Structure 1
């Protein structure tokens, strides 16, 4: 197999935003629904888009809750995010080898760019597909198909990498190979049930995989 391009989810895959996401959800939910949610309850909101999560919680308050979430999240972003082991150096090596890189996320493009700035790897990515780039977010295939179109690469030459069921299912739906990350907050066994093509124990595993 010849790998020409890698598509990465962002939160929970390249940047550890789990603490930020959980604390932001807790801030918003505690304000509106005091005592009804615990940090453990918020784990299921990691992965889906904000609108999907808040529609499940309170369909009549979605816009208000999303606005509240974004405000607190932006204010605390840089202090609460952390790097995963091996991510930056691996991305640099992949890029140096001529592997083309793009991001396919359910997050807004401006917030992905902010996270990339924290990591210092924004220049390595050719395209960023975010929540505001598409009509349908993952697991719908549209975001991946848009990335393929922009990169002008064939499905068989691409791997979609992520920490959530949405990433793997979107890859299956788009007809590309997939890789789950063992550092997913929901646990490796959770991700294995969606049958990713590969399971990464460390980001450096990609250096072997792309060689075929």
Structure 2
């Protein structure tokens, strides 16, 4: 039996990719006069939102752009992202089975806190590692290894669940069981270039596997 399950956030626990895309599109249009597609923005993923802006924005007013990002992110959250009862039930059922749960995300703590409150997930997790907590973002395993250390769980006793190639690469490098999920309306990777141990396309499928002890 696994002792801990660590989850990515965007596209894995909440359908927040649309608000990430929307907020970044507003920032780059406002400050660089650039029209970016969702795919353009996906190419930048890895660092936290603040890291993405500092690295990719040409305009020197980067701190102002970061504040504008959070303004837009908060503004559209309720209209674009609904609370997902199925995901909440999954998290609570895992906790009830005495399995520790955590988050390892590239998001900054500020945007994650906004989202956790909006989707009713505050206080659920035993450990949270954000993009602010690491030097090396995904696909580096630094954050995942940090989470396992804080949970006092061995690699062989943990699962990492994510929706992107970077998630799976981090999980493989950390030597944990990896699950690629495609169970929300928006997710990052339709075909994983690094094969996860398991691909799951519905929350129901995961719950069934967890219940019978496959995971």
TM > 0.5 = yes
2:148 maps to 148
How does 1:1-212 map onto structure 2 within 5 Å?
2-46=1-45, 48-51=47-50, 53-54=52-53, 55-56=55-56, 58=58, 63-84=63-84, 86-183=86-183, 185-189=187-191, 192-210=192-210, 211-212=213-214
Q: Deviations over 1:37-72 (max 9, x none)?
A: 334533434555335533245396655543432332
Q: Which moved more, 1:67-76 or 1:157-166?
A: 67-76
Unaligned runs of 5+ residues in structure 1 are none
TM-score by length of 1: 0.85
Give 1:91 deviation, angstroms. 1.1
Task: Report the 3-state secondary structure (helix = DSSP H, G, I; strand = E; otherwise coil) of the residue aligned with 1:16.
Answer: coil
Q: Deviations over 1:124-158 (max 9, x none)?
A: 21111111222222211110111111111110111
TM-score by length of 2: 0.84
Give 1:5 deviation, angstroms. 0.6
Task: Report the 3-state secondary structure (helix = DSSP H, G, I; strand = E; otherwise coil) of the residue aligned with 1:125.
Answer: coil
**For the residues of structure 2 that align with 1:41 and 1:113, how far apart are their CA atoms?**
25
**For the residues of structure 2 that align with 1:205 and 1:43, how far apart are their CA atoms?**
27
Q: Which moved more, 1:92-101 or 1:103-112?
A: 103-112
**For the residues of structure 2 that align with 1:45 and 1:80, how far apart are their CA atoms?**
22
Unaligned runs of 5+ residues in structure 2 are none
Shift of the 53–176 alpha-carbon distance from structure 1 to 2, 3 Å rule, reads same
Q: Which moved more, 1:32-41 or 1:17-26?
A: 32-41
Give 1:31 deviation, angstroms. 1.2
Shift of the 37–114 alpha-carbon distance from structure 1 to 2, 3 Å rule, reads closer
Shift of the 186–107 alpha-carbon distance from structure 1 to 2, 3 Å rule, reads closer
Conservation of the 8 A alpha-carbon contact between 1:181 and 1:188: no
